[in-house]
Structure 1
Amino acid sequence: MGSVTEASAAESLPETIAAPGEAVVLSVHAEGAQVYECKAGLEGKLAWAFREPIATLMADGKTVGRHYAGPNWEHVDGSVVLGRTSGSAPGATPNDIPWLKLEVISRRGSGTLSGVTTVQRINTAGGILEGPCDKAGATHSAPYSADYVFLRKEDSRHQ
């Protein structure tokens, strides 16, 4: 991993999702779907509501994990992190889900993700589903891709 590339990439992120002072643990590409469910909104009209993500996490052409409801990210080594959104920035187009910064609120297993404190979702493509739906409980998947960057806070004791 080239630290020059990572540093310049981090500097170009919107301030709302930047994680200054955190080091990259792992960067993966995700391919999957954002799953929506047809539900009645406030006015009683049916509309698509986000339900869960389902994605495969890849690095160097290999599957290294999966992303699913929670939101959870699970590495093939058994380490898992659960995140909560702490920042958001718009995607490149109206059809792209937002870029996110997620704070890790729980972790399990030991391995690659065990020290992760922040997850960033960047370079999103697709994933938005809008418009009316006609049957409550119906589901629809909107294909998407994104890059997920797993970070940990720098420990000043380790140089």
Structure 2
Amino acid sequence: MEKMTRIATPEELSGKKWYVVDATGQTVGRLSVAVATLLRGKNKVFYTSHQDAGDYVIVVNASKVAFTGKKWSQKMYYRHSGYPGGFKSATAKEVRERKPEHLIVHAVKGMLPKNKLANQFMSRLKVYAAEAHPHQAQNPEVYAIAGGR
């Protein structure tokens, strides 16, 4: 008998939870793996790679994340406006000072699959530089990530 992939029912896929993750002292890579797992729904029993079974994730204190080693001064972030001479680069420290949410958004986006579901996953990611967030009405569950510095 052939093994078949179990497909989640619409009722299972419709119940999306909200999680809040505190980024204080967390390493960016390890935090991003945990957030990407929640966004994709890989923590659920009925996970299938071609269905969107993920939840909403709120990341607070993005300005207090950690990098290992000398990455604050050596890791570079690049962007291009599309115009001649529009290439810009910044170190991780400069990005944290200007827009700390970008550190986590960029890392999580890189850990998601490069397909049509990625935009759906990213639309459920909410990142805030401080402790406050406007999603208290959704009653988010605190999701603790093991480790940290």
Normalising by the residue count of structure 1, what TM-score does the alignment of the two structures yield? 0.23
Structure with the bigger percentage of strand = 1
Of structures 1 and 2, the one with the larger relative CO (CA 8 A, separation 6+) is 2
Structure with the bigger percentage of helix = 2
